[in-house]
Chains A and B, each alone.
Chain A
Amino acid sequence: MARKGLLINYEFCTGCHTCEVACKQEHDYPAGRWGIIVKDLTRETEGKVQVDFLPFPTDLCDLCARRTARGEKPACVKHCMAACMSYGTVSELAAQMEELPRSVLYVPR
Chain B
Amino acid sequence: MGQRVVRSTAWSPGPGCHGGCGLEFHVEDGRLVRVEGDERHPYSQGRLCPRALALKQFIYHPDRFLYPLKRVGERGEGRFERMTWDEALDHVEERLRAIRDRYGPESVMFVQGTGRDVGGPISFLCYSFGSPNWVQLGLAGHSCYTPRLAAMMFTHGDYAVLDAGQFSPEGMADPEYRVPEVIIVWAQNPAAGCQDAFYGHWVVDCVKRGSRLIVVDPRWTWFSSRAEVFLQLRPGTDAALALGMLNVIISEGLYDHEFVEKWCFGFDKLAARAAEYPLERVSEITWVPAEDIAAAARLYAKAKPAAIQWGLPVDMCPAGTTTAQAVTHLWSITGNLDVPGGQVIARPAFGVTTYPFSTQELHALYGEEFVQRMNEKRIGAQEFALLRNFRGWGQPDRAVEQMITGKPYPIKACWIQTTNILGGQAANTRLHYEALRKMEFNVVVDLFPNPTTMAVADVILPAATIAEKESFRSWWSPVQVMTPAIQVGECRSDWEINLELAKRFNPELKRRYETVKDLIDERLRPSGYTFDDLKDGNWKFPDKDTPSRAYYRYEKGLLRADGQPGFRTPTGKVELYSTSFEQFDMDPLPFFTEPPESEVRTPELAAECPLIMVTGRRSPVFFHAEHRNIPWLRECDPEPIVEIHPRTAAELGISDGEWVVIRNDRGRIKRKAKVTPIVHPKVVSVPHGWWLPETEGREPHLYGIWDHNCNLLVNIGPGCASGYGGAPYKTTLVAVGKLDEGDD
Interface 0/1 of B6-41, CB less than 8 Å to A: 000000000000000000000000000011110100
Beta-carbon contact of A18 and B204 below 8 Å: no
B5 at the interface (CB under 8 A from A): no
Identify which of A24, A51, A81 contacts B201 (C-beta below 8 A). Answer: A81
A60 at the interface (CB under 8 A from B): no
Most buried by B among A31, A32, A44, A52: A31
B508 at the interface (CB under 8 A from A): no
Identify which of B35, B46, B678 contacts A25 (C-beta below 8 A). Answer: B35
Q: Which residue of A lies closest to B638 (CB)?
A: A31
- Measured CA separation A48–B230 after assembly (Å): 10
Chain A residue numbers with a CB within 8 Å of B230 are: 48
Beta-carbon contact of A31 and B631 below 8 Å: yes
Interface 0/1 of B177-212, CB less than 8 Å to A: 000000000000001100000001100110110000
Known: A44-B677, A78-B37, A79-B53. A51 touches B222 (CB 8 A): yes
Chain A residue numbers with a CB within 8 Å of B201 are: 14, 16, 81-83
Beta-carbon contact of A25 and B34 below 8 Å: yes
Nearest CB in chain B: distance from A45 CB, A: 9
Beta-carbon contact of A18 and B53 below 8 Å: yes
- Measured CA separation A47–B621 after assembly (Å): 30
Beta-carbon contact of A12 and B204 below 8 Å: yes
Identify which of A21, A43, A49, A82 contacts B54 (C-beta below 8 A). Answer: A21
Q: Which residue of B lies closest to A37 (CB)?
A: B636
Q: For chains A and B in complex, what number of residue pairs have CB atoms within 8 angstroms? A: 107
Known: A14-B201, A21-B54, A25-B56. A52 touches B225 (CB 8 A): yes
Beta-carbon contact of A14 and B191 below 8 Å: yes
B526 at the interface (CB under 8 A from A): no
Beta-carbon contact of A49 and B678 below 8 Å: yes
Interface residues of A in 1-42 (CB under 8 A from B): 12, 14-18, 20-22, 24-26, 30-32, 42
Chain A residue numbers with a CB within 8 Å of B439 are: none
- Measured CA separation A42–B678 after assembly (Å): 8
A94 at the interface (CB under 8 A from B): no
- Measured CA separation A25–B52 after assembly (Å): 11
Nearest CB in chain A: distance from B694 CB, A: 12
Question: How extensive is the interface on chain B, given as a class?
Answer: 35 or more
Beta-carbon contact of B204 and A14 below 8 Å: yes
Chain A residue numbers with a CB within 8 Å of B49 are: 16, 18, 81
Identify which of B39, B204, B636, B677 contacts A82 (C-beta below 8 A). Answer: B204
- Measured CA separation A12–B677 after assembly (Å): 20
Interface 0/1 of A36-71, CB less than 8 Å to B: 000000111000111111000000000000000000
Beta-carbon contact of B35 and A42 below 8 Å: no
Chain B residue numbers with a CB within 8 Å of A14 are: 191-192, 201, 204, 222
Beta-carbon contact of A79 and B191 below 8 Å: no
A80 at the interface (CB under 8 A from B): yes
Chain A residue numbers with a CB within 8 Å of B48 are: 18, 22, 79, 81
Q: Which residue of B lies closest to A13 (CB)?
A: B222
Identify which of B205, B222, B632 contacts A24 (C-beta below 8 A). Answer: B632
Nearest CB in chain A: distance from B675 CB, A: 12
B571 at the interface (CB under 8 A from A): no
Known: A18-B48, A22-B48, A42-B677. A31 touches B632 (CB 8 A): yes
- Measured CA separation A64–B676 after assembly (Å): 35
Identify which of B54, B208, B631, B678 contacts A12 (C-beta below 8 A). Answer: B208
Beta-carbon contact of B678 and A17 below 8 Å: no
Beta-carbon contact of B204 and A50 below 8 Å: no
Beta-carbon contact of A15 and B53 below 8 Å: no
Nearest CB in chain B: distance from A53 CB, A: 8
Interface residues of B in 619-671 (CB under 8 A from A): 620-621, 631-637
Beta-carbon contact of A81 and B191 below 8 Å: yes
- Measured CA separation A18–B224 after assembly (Å): 21
Interface residues of B in 332-384 (CB under 8 A from A): none
Beta-carbon contact of A83 and B677 below 8 Å: no
- Measured CA separation A43–B56 after assembly (Å): 35
Beta-carbon contact of B620 and A16 below 8 Å: yes
- Measured CA separation A81–B37 after assembly (Å): 10
Interface 0/1 of B208-230, CB less than 8 Å to A: 10000000000011101100001
- Measured CA separation A26–B225 after assembly (Å): 32
Identify which of B37, B204, B678 contacts A79 (C-beta below 8 A). Answer: B37
B298 at the interface (CB under 8 A from A): no
Nearest CB in chain A: distance from B741 CB, A: 33
Beta-carbon contact of B54 and A51 below 8 Å: no
Beta-carbon contact of A79 and B46 below 8 Å: yes
Known: A17-B620, A24-B632. A78 touches B46 (CB 8 A): yes
Nearest CB in chain A: distance from B185 CB, A: 12
Beta-carbon contact of B221 and A51 below 8 Å: yes
Beta-carbon contact of B191 and A15 below 8 Å: yes
Chain A residue numbers with a CB within 8 Å of B220 are: 42, 48-49, 51
Beta-carbon contact of A17 and B621 below 8 Å: yes
Interface 0/1 of B50-70, CB less than 8 Å to A: 100110100000000000000
Beta-carbon contact of A32 and B635 below 8 Å: yes
Q: Which residue of A lies closest to B39 (CB)?
A: A78
Known: A14-B191, A16-B620, A80-B47. A21 touches B633 (CB 8 A): yes
Q: Which residue of B lies closest to A28 (CB)?
A: B56
Known: A42-B676, A42-B678, A51-B222. A17 touches B50 (CB 8 A): yes
Q: Which residue of A lies closest to B636 (CB)?
A: A17
Chain A residue numbers with a CB within 8 Å of B636 are: 17, 20-21
Q: Which residue of B lies closest to A49 (CB)?
A: B220
Identify which of A24, A50, A82 contacts B225 (C-beta below 8 A). Answer: A50
Chain A residue numbers with a CB within 8 Å of B225 are: 48-52
Beta-carbon contact of B50 and A21 below 8 Å: yes
Beta-carbon contact of A20 and B50 below 8 Å: yes
- Measured CA separation A79–B38 after assembly (Å): 10
Nearest CB in chain B: distance from A99 CB, A: 12
Chain A residue numbers with a CB within 8 Å of B631 are: 30-31
Q: Which residue of A lies closest to B44 (CB)?
A: A81
- Measured CA separation A31–B54 after assembly (Å): 11
Identify which of B39, B46, B191, B677 contacts A16 (C-beta below 8 A). Answer: B191
- Measured CA separation A54–B676 after assembly (Å): 18
Nearest CB in chain A: distance from B269 CB, A: 39
**17 extra A-B contacts, CB within 8 A, seeds A16-B620, A78-B36, A81-B200:** A15-B620, A16-B49, A16-B201, A17-B636, A21-B53, A21-B632, A22-B50, A48-B220, A51-B222, A79-B36, A79-B47, A79-B53, A81-B47, A82-B201, A83-B47, A83-B204, A83-B205
Question: 30 A-B contacts, Cβ less than 8 Å apart?
Answer: A14-B192, A14-B222, A15-B222, A16-B49, A16-B201, A17-B621, A18-B49, A18-B50, A21-B54, A21-B621, A21-B636, A22-B48, A25-B35, A26-B34, A31-B631, A31-B632, A31-B634, A42-B676, A48-B230, A50-B225, A51-B224, A53-B222, A78-B36, A79-B47, A80-B47, A81-B47, A81-B48, A81-B49, A81-B201, A83-B204
Chain A positions near chain B (C-beta within 8 angstroms) = 12, 14-18, 20-22, 24-26, 30-32, 42-44, 48-53, 78-83
**Pairs A-B, 10 closest by C-beta atoms:** A14-B191, A31-B631, A21-B50, A49-B220, A51-B225, A16-B620, A21-B53, A17-B50, A17-B636, A81-B201
